[in-house]
Amino acid sequence: MTAPVLVVTGATGRLAEAVVELLGARGDRLLLTGRDKDRLAALERRYGVAGRVETLATDVSDPEGARLAAEEAVGRFGRLDGLVHMVGGFLAGPLFLTDTGAYERMLRDNFLSAVTATQAVLPHLAEGARLVYFSTPLADEPLPALSAYAAAKAALAAWVRSVAHEVKRSGIHANTVVMTMADTPDKRRERPGMNFDHTVTPDLVARVVAFLTSEAADGLYGSRVPVLGRFEFTSELGGGPPPGVGGPR
Ligand X SMILES: NC(=O)c1ccc[n+]([C@@H]2O[C@H](COP(=O)([O-])OP(=O)(O)OC[C@H]3O[C@@H](n4cnc5c(N)ncnc54)[C@H](OP(=O)(O)O)[C@@H]3O)[C@@H](O)[C@H]2O)c1
Q: What are phi and psi of 77, to 5 degrees?
A: -110, -10
**Rounded least distance, CB 171 to ligand X, Å:** 25
User: Which residues from 115-134 bind ligand X, rule CB under 6 A?
Assistant: 134
Of 55 and 110, the one with the shorter C-beta distance to ligand X is 110
According to CB under 6 A, which one of 31, 60, 154, 160 is a site residue for ligand X? 60
Of 16 and 120, the one with the shorter C-beta distance to ligand X is 16
The residues, ordered by sequence, that sit 6+ positions from 13 with a Cβ below 8 Å of its Cβ are: 34, 86, 87, 88
Of 19 and 122, the one with the shorter C-beta distance to ligand X is 19
Using rule CB under 6 A, residue 47 touches ligand X:
no
According to CB under 6 A, which one of 7, 182, 217, 225 is a site residue for ligand X? 182
**Rounded least distance, CB 5 to ligand X, Å:** 20
Compute the residue count for the chain. 249
- What residues pair up with 177 in beta bridges, in sequence order? 134, 225
- What residues pair up with 132 in beta bridges, in sequence order? 84, 175
Angle at 20 between CA 18 and CA 23, to 5 degrees: 105
- CA 222 to CA 101: how far, in whole Å? 30
**Rounded least distance, CB 60 to ligand X, Å:** 5
Of 89 and 229, the one with the shorter C-beta distance to ligand X is 89
Binding part of the chain for ligand X, among 6-14, 48-56, 75-83, 207-215 by CB under 6 A, reads 6-14
Helix (H, G, I), strand (E, B) or coil at 177: strand
Using rule CB under 6 A, residue 15 touches ligand X:
yes
Count of residues binding ligand X (CB under 6 A)?
26
The residues, ordered by sequence, that sit 6+ positions from 40 with a Cβ below 8 Å of its Cβ are: 11, 12, 32, 34, 55, 56, 57
Using rule CB under 6 A, residue 35 touches ligand X:
yes
Using rule CB under 6 A, residue 181 touches ligand X:
yes
The residues, ordered by sequence, that sit 6+ positions from 82 with a Cβ below 8 Å of its Cβ are: 4, 5, 6, 7, 121, 125, 129, 130, 131, 132, 213
Binding part of the chain for ligand X, among 20-28, 54-62, 70-78, 233-241 by CB under 6 A, reads 54-62
Task: Report the interface residues with ligand X, using CB under 6 A.
Answer: 10, 12-16, 34-36, 39, 59-61, 86-89, 108-110, 113, 134, 136, 179, 181-182
